[in-house]
Structures are given as C-alpha cells and as structure tokens.
Amino acid sequence: MGPSTFGSGNKFFAYCSLGQQTQDLKYSNEPTYLEVGDDNTFREFVTVNRGTAPEARTRIGNGGNFLAYSHIAHDCTVGDRVIFSNNGTIAGHVEVGDHAVIGGLTAVHQFCRIGAHAITGGCSKIVQDVPPFMIADGNPAEVRGINRVGLERMGFSPDSLKLLKEAYRILYRSALNLHQAVERLQAELPDTPELLRLVDFLNSSSRGVIR
C-alpha cells in the first residue's frame, strides 16, 4: 500500500501489510515512503509502516527474513540479511544493522540501534543500543557475551572471535565507564575492521549503550 517501492524476488505471505501510513499520531497525510530491497520474505501478518515527516522514509535492505507478526514502525532503517523472529517489534526511528537477529517477542524502544551481527534473546526489552557482535537478553536487557555461534556461521576467524571476546571483557567485565573502556579498546587492541566498527558504534550512540 501507499507510496512504496520493492526490489525483485520479495515474497509476501498471507495478511502481511506493508506501506500503510505511520501509526505516529503526528502524521497528517504528508507524502512519506517505504523502500524495500531485494529477496526479502515477509511472513503472515508482518507490518511495515511508512515514514512520518514529509518525504521521510522507512528503509529495508536485501535478503531479510521477517517472521509472523513482526513489526517495523515508521522511519526505521533495517539492513541486509536480518532475521526478525515471530513478534519481533521495533518502534519508530530504530536502526538495525546487517545480519542482526531480533528474537521472538523482543520489543525495541524508539531511536535505539541494534548493531551488525548482534542478536537479542526472546522476550527481551531493548531500551538502549545493542553493540555490534553482541548478545543482549533480558527484561531489561543486558549484554551477555559475543554472538559466537552467529559469527562462526558467518565465517569470522578464530582470531577475530578472540579479539571480540577481549573487547567484551573490557567493556562489560571491567570497572571502567564507557568512555574509559573505549579508550582502553583503542589503546590495547589492534585496529581490525571489527574493532573499528565496534568503537565507531559506541562513540556515535545517542541513547546510550546497554551495559
């Protein structure tokens, strides 16, 4: 429905609803959009809403798998090859990185970010950013460790996993505040692509990072 564009190879199952107007009460029939890439699967009763402000867009990348009753609200940006398990729900203005997994019945507060290759446990309550490569679980959620199984499946090397585990230890098992922990990451660990992505994410957080 609505002003929406879809790439090739997308699959739409019964009763999914994509491109309807935002549920944001500020919306006053301005022109807003939904943009969807290629090869996504939208299972039964999935809902995806357009943006709110004039010319605003909700964006979904390529190769995502959105299971039954999952919801993507207005003005969200969702990356490539994500998985939203049943009833995974993200509020407005949420960003979800590539290869992230939203667990069943997870609820993500507006303006939060879920980093690339991160995963949330079922029934989690996410009210701050989940860093890339990490597992967040609980109500409210806590970061429990690195997403080792998911990273191994994606072909991350043992050295990369070892580095990310050390980064997790500094961030979550030391007495340092976030600023101090980031400084220590940069001082003690090599500048691999994974570490640079993690540090950039931490430094750019506006809602704060789940600790």
Distance of CA 135 to the CA centre of its chain: 12
pLDDT band at 13 (very low <50, low <70, confident <90, very high): very high
Where do you find CATH 2.160.10.10 in the chain? Answer: 4-146
Q: What is the pLDDT of residues 27-36, one digit of tens each?
A: 999 999 999 9
pLDDT at position 2 over 90: no
Residues 111-122, mean pLDDT to the nearest whole number: 98
So what's the pLDDT on residue 59?
98
Whether 179 is catalytic is: no
Burial class (CB in 10 A: 0-12, 13-18, 19+), 175: exposed
Q: State the DSSP code for 123.
A: T
3-state secondary structure of 98: coil
4-146: what fold? UDP N-Acetylglucosamine Acyltransferase; domain 1 (2.160.10)
- Asked if residues 23 and 73 have their Cβ atoms less than 8 Å apart, the reply is yes
Angle between the 193-203 and 158-172 helix axes, to the nearest 10 degrees? 30
Whether 75 is catalytic is: yes
Rounded to whole angstroms, the Cα distance separating 187 from 182 reads 9
On whether the pTM is more than 0.85, the answer is: yes
One of 88, 92, 115, 150 is an active-site residue; which one? 92
The tokens for 62 are 């390529």
**Number of helical (H) and strand (E) elements in the chain, helices listed first:** 4, 20
- Asked if residues 189 and 163 have their Cβ atoms less than 8 Å apart, the reply is yes
Q: What is the pLDDT of residues 146-193, one digit of tens each?
A: 999 999 999 999 999 999 999 999 999 999 999 999 999 999 999 999
Q: What is the pLDDT of residues 41-87, one digit of tens each?
A: 999 999 999 999 999 999 999 999 999 999 999 999 999 999 999 99
Rounded to whole angstroms, the Cα distance separating 49 from 160 reads 37
Q: Which of 48, 49, 51 is nearest to 69 (CA)?
A: 48
Where do you find CATH 1.20.1180.10 in the chain? Answer: 150-203
Whether 159 is catalytic is: no
- Asked if residues 53 and 30 have their Cβ atoms less than 8 Å apart, the reply is yes
One of 24, 61, 75, 88 is an active-site residue; which one? 75
Domain 150-203 listed as CATH 1.20.1180.10: yes
Q: Other C-beta atoms within 10 Å of 75: how many?
A: 24
One of 51, 61, 64, 74 is an active-site residue; which one? 74
